[in-house]
Amino acid sequence: MVSLKTLEDYLRSKDNSKNFINCSEVPPICKSEPCMLGVDEAGRGPVLGPMVYGVAFCPLSQKAVLQSLGCADSKALTEDKRDEIFTKMLTESEPVQNVGWTAEIISPNYISNSMYRRAKHSLNEVSMNSAISLIKKVIEEGVNLAEIYVDTVGPPEKYQAKLLEIFPNIKITVAKKADSIYPIVSAASIVAKVTRDHALKVWSFKEGLDMDHTGFGSGYPGDPLTKKFIRDQVDNVFGYPLLVRFSWSTAELMLQEKAATCTFEDVEEVSPNKKAAGTKSISTFFSPKEDKRLRKRHKFFEERYLNVINAFE
């Protein structure tokens, strides 16, 4: 991957209804020297589009590379500036040789299904699972991780304790606004935000809707274009395209107002040892019948005056 265009081509080639991963090559120095890794996300709050989790890693001895890239508080950076920094991470020799990254694109479809299933999976759980799987992936690829810095999801103490339990031999710091404190987290945040921005730009509607990203905006509920999309694109039966997170209250309220009412009956769960009323055991189909009534003889036998003389035992 050598440019934003190749990033877009890759994102365009993937099934946007499913989760998938994009990553750089691991710089050889990251396998030999102790490294730090940052974790952050983009798109946690929007009603439209994926949430992206990103990690970035580099040797502890190469902090200056992050500073020269301009990795600071990513939220204070413009979209153009984030694109510029990410392009440098893809193309300039010093970042390419010292900084690696991985991003997981978590589809809106997966988010909605997780939050709606019977054993509900909260957004915090989706987020933590993504972060943990990305860290594990980096370790499996041979990166010599010594320190991990994470922008918090929920209470920092609880999250940090969980990570320490999984990665006991690594120094772990979980903090609020970590992307404004630790440059490596800012680098991860830039990876996540740039990936999400371009995933929206190349979004293809499986439903056949002829619209590009200029028609639905940033995806945040306060965006006028997003509000218009949510209001105008309701299907009476099927609801919304897969771009929309059905589980967000913004979408739920509009569906209640404009879509057809649907009622699901609760099915009573039957314990394994208790048969539902009127249900026969499968063994009854193989048991001898007690009904002694004679069956009516077939017309074929009656016309030919054929009778059973001796039944085979």
* Helix (H), strand (E) at residue 249: helix 249-258
Pairing label, strands 100-106, 51-59: antiparallel
The answer to whether 217 and 47 are in contact (CB under 8 A) is no
Ligand-binding site membership of 25 (annotated): no
Which residues touch 224 (CB under 8 Å, ≥6 apart)? 217
Ligand-binding site membership of 151 (annotated): yes
Which residues touch 100 (CB under 8 Å, ≥6 apart)? 23, 24, 25, 26, 27, 30, 56, 57, 58, 138, 143
The token pair that represents 246 in the structure block: 């059905």
The token pair that represents 222 in the structure block: 């306060």
Ligand-binding site membership of 9 (annotated): no
Q: Which residues fall in the annotated binding site for a divalent metal cation? A: 40-41, 151
Q: Which residues fall in the annotated binding site? A: 40-41, 151
